[in-house]
Structures are given as structure tokens and as C-alpha cells.
Amino acid sequence: MSAPVFWLRCEKKPFERRAALTPTTAKRLIDAGFEIFVERDEQRIFDDAEYEAVGCKLVDNNSWAQAPRHIPILGLKELPVSDEPLPHTHIQFAHCYKHQGGWSSVLARFYKGGGTLYDLEFLNDENGRRVAAFGFHAGFAGAAAALP
């Protein structure tokens, strides 16, 4: 049986430095038997070397579309606008289910590609409580990074 795998994609939104997976958490997953691929990314708050030091396999920037289709793609924010079908499983804050701008086009891409979207904003535990959310200061962190 092969090890479970995740692929951490780079973020393409300007000023987005946050990551959906920290090196510390990646190490825990690797220790639990996971294989983790991490796209090289000069924009991310964590250096590529930090991921490599804990055992992640570094891959080219923005190469997730060429990843084997069985590997789930982890991201933070929505993908750039495109009409390309999405055949992978994506785990991210997609902002589709509140009917935010472009939501129908995003869902159409998953439908066309046969992919699956796990929108982190709507993953709940057995009591209906969200299991992933941005903290109160998340928006301020992005705004601060954009200041001159």
C-alpha cells in the first residue's frame, strides 16, 4: 500500500504569504507516514529550505496541474481565474458556497475535470462546528504585508 500524499501548491494572489501547511505540520504528517510535495515559492512566509529540512519533496513553482491526479492539492486561497478543467481534489478556501464572485465558473471547472473541492470554509465536525477558519487578524496580516 502506498503512503498517503499531499501536494502544497504555491499561492498566486499578490501579497499572499500565508501557507496552508507549515513545515512543523508537514513534519508531523511525514512522521505519520505521509509523503508531502511542496512547490518552490519565494513569496511564501516559510522558506523552501524549511520544508526540505523536515523531509518534504520540493517541486517546481506552480506545477500542481501536472501532479498525478490521485494527489490532493492543498492551497489557501482561490485559484487564478481560468477555464481549465480541474481533475484533482483541491482543499482550500474556495469561497464558492456563499456565491462570491466567480463561484459558478470555479465549480464548473471541477465538474468539467471530474475533480473534487473541499472548501475549508464549510468543513464541519460532528457537532456542526467549523474545523478550519481564519482568525480575526488574518485579514490584517495580508493588509500589513501590502503596505509600503
Residues catalogued as catalytic = 77, 95
Rg of the chain over CA atoms, in angstroms? Answer: 15
Q: How far is CA 125 from CA 22, 32, 122, 132, in A?
A: 22, 22, 10, 10
Q: What's the CA gap between 37 and 22, in Å, rounded? A: 12
Contacts of 127 (CB under 8 A, 6+ apart): none
